[in-house]
Amino acid sequence: MGGLAAALDLTARGHRVTVVEKKQYPFHRVCGEYVSNEVLPYLRRLQADPRELNPARITRFLLSSPAGRTLSVPLDMGGFGISRFALDEYLFQLAAARGVTVLQRTTVTAVSYDPTTDRHITTLADGRTLTTRVVLGAYGKRSALDRQRSFFQKRSPYLGVKHHLRLDYPSDLIALHNFSDGYAGISAVEDGRYCFCYLTTRQNLKQHGTIAALEQNVLAANPLLRKILTNAEFLYPQPEVINEISFAPKSCIEDHVLLCGDAAGLITPLCGNGMAMALHGAQLASTHLHDFLQGRTTRATLEARYRRDWHAQFGQRLRVGRLVQGLFGKPLLSEAVVGSLRHWPGAVRALMRRTHGEEFGDDLAQW
C-alpha cells in the first residue's frame, strides 16, 4: 500500500517510477481492513477515491474483555472498511493507468548502493537488475530483504489470522474482542461482508493444534466472539494466516534506502492504523525524494530530514501502541482494564488520539 501510494505521488510530481511486487493483484492479505479517515485528504490528492469501492462507513468502537464485559465510544475521526483485495487492486490499477511500471510476480532479492555512481542497484529473482537514483523500501512486515536487520534475528511469538464473513452485524461498528493471549477485530467491508481478523501467539495455536480448535476453545470463551463464530457464514475455504509479526523498533533508512510502512515499523493492530501510517510514510518519503530528485537537497539532507520527520510523526504512536498491547492478552489484566475504562470513556478517546495522527495530505475536510 505504501509503495503504490508513493508511486502515484511521485508520478504526479513528474518522476518515472517502477514498482516491484512479488505477488499478482488482486490478492487477500491478513489485515483488519479498517482504514482511519486521516488518510482521506491524501487519497484525494492522489486522485484516488475509495468511495468508488463502496466501503462501509465506521463511526463507533466497542471493546470487550475475555469474559464479555464491554465498553463503547464514538470514534472521533472514524474510518471506513474496505478489503485489501479491493483497495490494493484499485491503487494498482490507478498506478498502471498513470504510467507507473508495475512488475508483478517479481521478487527483489537484493538492493545495494554504489557510492561511486550514487545509484542503487536492485537485483530481481530472475537475474535482471534495475539501476535507479533512489529506492523506497515498502516491502511490509518481514521480507528476505530484512535478513541483516536486528529484528529479523529474533523470533516473534505473534501470528495473525483473517476470515471474511457474512453476518447480521452493525456496519458502522468496529469491535475489538479480547481472549486469552490475543484479540480479534471485526468490522464491515464492502458488499455486506465483514472482516474478522485476530492476533494471537504461536504458542496458543500449538496448544490447540488447529485454527478451528483454537477458535472453538479459546476465542469462543468470550461470549461475544462465540456469537460471531456460531452465527457467521465463513466465506474463504481457508483463513489467511501469517506468522512472525514483529512489533520491535526498526530503522527507517537502511543502506541509503528510505523505508516506509511496516518495513520501517509496524504499529500493533489494535490501534487500527497501520495502513494510515503506510500512506503517511509514503507522503513523507515522496516529498523528500522529490526535493532530492529535483536537485534541491543532497542525499545526506534527504536522509536526515526523512529520519527526523518519520520519528516526529510515528515515534510516539508506535511506543503507545506497544504499551497498550501489553494491557491485553492476559485475561485478568484485560478484565481489569476494560472494567475500569468503561467508566472512563474520555481516557479511551485520549488513548486513541495518541495512537492516531491528524488528517494529512492537504487541508480539505472529510468527504
Ligand X SMILES: Cc1cc2nc3c(=O)[nH]c(=O)nc-3n(C[C@H](O)[C@H](O)[C@H](O)COP(=O)(O)OP(=O)(O)OC[C@H]3O[C@@H](n4cnc5c(N)ncnc54)[C@H](O)[C@@H]3O)c2cc1C
DSSP 3-state of 346? helix
Q: How far is the CB of 340 from ligand X (least distance, A)?
A: 25
- Pull the grid cell for residue 357: 495522527
CA separation for the pair 67, 84 (Å, rounded): 31
**Of residues 157-196, which lie at the interface with ligand X (CB under 6 A)?**
160
**Of residues 190-229, which lie at the interface with ligand X (CB under 6 A)?**
197, 199
**Of residues 29-68, which lie at the interface with ligand X (CB under 6 A)?**
30-35
CA separation for the pair 2, 5 (Å, rounded): 5
> Measuring CA to CA, how many Å separate 5 from each of 173, 206, 285?
27, 38, 10
**Of residues 295-334, which lie at the interface with ligand X (CB under 6 A)?**
none
Q: How far is the CB of 22 from ligand X (least distance, A)?
A: 4
CA separation for the pair 158, 202 (Å, rounded): 6
Out of 245, 252, 285, 337, the residue judged to bind ligand X by CB under 6 A: 245
- Other Cβ atoms less than 10 A from the Cβ of 40: the count is 26
Spatial neighbors of 68 by CB under 8 A, at least 6 apart, are 222, 223, 224
Residue 21, interface with ligand X (CB under 6 A)?
A: yes
Q: What is the per-residue binding string for ligand X in 250-279, x denoting contact by CB under 6 A?
A: -----------xxx--x--x--xxxxx-x-
Q: How far is the CB of 29 from ligand X (least distance, A)?
A: 6
Nearer to ligand X, 18 or 297 (CB): 18
**Of residues 68-107, which lie at the interface with ligand X (CB under 6 A)?**
107
Give the bridge partners for 123, in sequence order: 110, 129
HSE-CB of 308 using CA atoms within 13 angstroms: 7
CA separation for the pair 3, 130 (Å, rounded): 17
Residue 22, interface with ligand X (CB under 6 A)?
A: yes
Q: How far is the CB of 36 from ligand X (least distance, A)?
A: 6
Residue 137, interface with ligand X (CB under 6 A)?
A: no
What's the residue count for the chain? 367
Q: How far is the CB of 32 from ligand X (least distance, A)?
A: 2
Q: How far is the CB of 31 from ligand X (least distance, A)?
A: 4
CA separation for the pair 158, 201 (Å, rounded): 4
Which spans of this chain sit near ligand X (rule: CB under 6 A)?
Answer: 1-3, 20-23, 30-35, 107-108, 138-140, 143-145, 160, 197, 199, 245, 261-263, 266, 269, 272-276, 278
